[in-house]
């Protein structure tokens, strides 16, 4: 990913969410995007022009739009009607985003649309976040990367965030993933952790 003077940017048309521009590059705000926060905190995650991405929990398309600036195609899954309206507007400007209105927990509903992907990115506020990720592994190529943005308070508010993280890591490992790194997203996002995995099956 591209940095200009230590600022993370993406090479694309601006005006998606009022983001600042540096020349022809869009400033990627880590307080508006967990992926930007992860990158700025030192993760080695990268985006390349030939990559296909399945994005679960696309919301209104803020992070999706930046990802689309870098990669070949983004399959953007969102369930809620209101954010989907905003996402469709983003798609009008970026032809490499495929919007899919569906429940990420039921990947069979979009199995006929999504090709094999290099990156599975998930940002879904559901209790069964690990289970949803594992059900979508059918789309991830062997050796591909899963990035799960874990919203610990959505999983179990009675457990400590650290305990939720550790339990989620165990579930993902049992599901056939190799954990490359885990990283808390403070100071940008409280009680959120990124889990970066590799598909080994």
What lies within 8 Å, CB to CB, of 55 at 6+ separation is: 63, 64, 67, 74, 75, 76, 77, 121, 122, 123
Among 23, 110, 28, CA closest to 68: 28
Say if CB 19 and CB 29 are below 8 A apart: yes
Does residue 164 surpass a pLDDT of 90? yes
User: Span 139-143, mean pLDDT?
Assistant: 96
Could you read off the pLDDT of 32-78 as tens digits, one per residue? 999 999 999 999 889 999 999 999 999 999 999 999 999 999 999 99
User: Contact at 8 Å (CB) between 91 and 154?
Assistant: no
31 burial via Cβ count (<10 Å: 0-12, 13-18, 19+): exposed
- Tell me the CA end-to-end span of the chain in Å, nearest whole number: 27
User: For 91-122, how does the pLDDT look when each residue is reduced to its tens digit (9 = 90+)?
Assistant: 998 999 999 999 999 999 999 999 999 999 99
In CATH, which of 3.30.479.30, 3.40.50.1980, 3.30.1540.20, 3.40.50.150 is domain 30-199? 3.40.50.150
How many angstroms separate the CA atoms of 58 and 65, rounded? 10
Q: Return the pLDDT at 31.
A: 95
Residue 2: predicted pLDDT: 94
Residue stretches of the annotated binding site for S-adenosyl-L-methionine = 62-63, 78-79, 103-104, 123-126
Going by the annotation, the residues of the binding site are 62-63, 78-79, 103-104, 123-126
pTM: predicted TM-score of the whole model, two decimal places: 0.95
Max CA pair span of the chain: 47
User: Tell me: the pLDDT tens digits for 3-21?
Assistant: 999 999 999 999 999 999 9
173 close to 146: Cβ distance less than 8 angstroms: no
Q: Provide the pLDDT for residue 130.
A: 95
pLDDT at 145 (0 to 100): 97
The domain segmentation of the chain, as residue ranges, is 30-199
pLDDT-based confidence at 157, cuts 50/70/90?
confident
Taking all residues of the chain, what is their mean pLDDT, rounded to a whole number? 95
- Give the pLDDT band (50/70/90) at residue 156: confident
Q: How long, in residues, is the chain? A: 201
Angle, vertex CA 148, rays to CA 66 and CA 98, nearest 5: 45
The 2-4 sheet, strands edge to edge? 2-4, 7-10, 25-27, 21-22
């Amino acid at each position: 990913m591209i940095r200009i003077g230590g600022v993370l940017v993406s090479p694309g048309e601006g005006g998606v969410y009022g983001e600042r521009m540096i020349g022809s590059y869009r400033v990627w705000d880590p307080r508006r995007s967990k992926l930007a926060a992860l990158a700025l905190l030192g993760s080695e995650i990268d985006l390349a022009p030939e990559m296909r991405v399945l994005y679960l929990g696309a919301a209104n398309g803020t992070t999706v739009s930046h990802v689309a600036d870098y990669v070949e195609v983004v399959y953007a899954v969102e369930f809620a009607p209101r954010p989907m309206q905003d996402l469709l507007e983003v798609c009008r400007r970026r032809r490499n985003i495929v919007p899919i209105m569906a429940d990420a927990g039921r990947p069979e509903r979009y199995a006929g649309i999504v090709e094999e992907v290099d990156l599975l990115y998930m940002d879904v506020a559901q209790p069964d976040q690990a289970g949803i990720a594992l059900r979508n592994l059918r789309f991830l190529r062997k050796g591909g990367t899963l990035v799960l943005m874990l919203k610990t308070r959505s999983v179990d508010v009675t457990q400590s965030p650290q305990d939720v993280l550790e339990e989620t890591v165990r579930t993902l490992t049992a599901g056939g993933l190799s954990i490359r790194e885990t990283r808390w997203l403070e100071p940008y996002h409280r009680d959120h952790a990124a889990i970066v995995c590799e598909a080994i099956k």
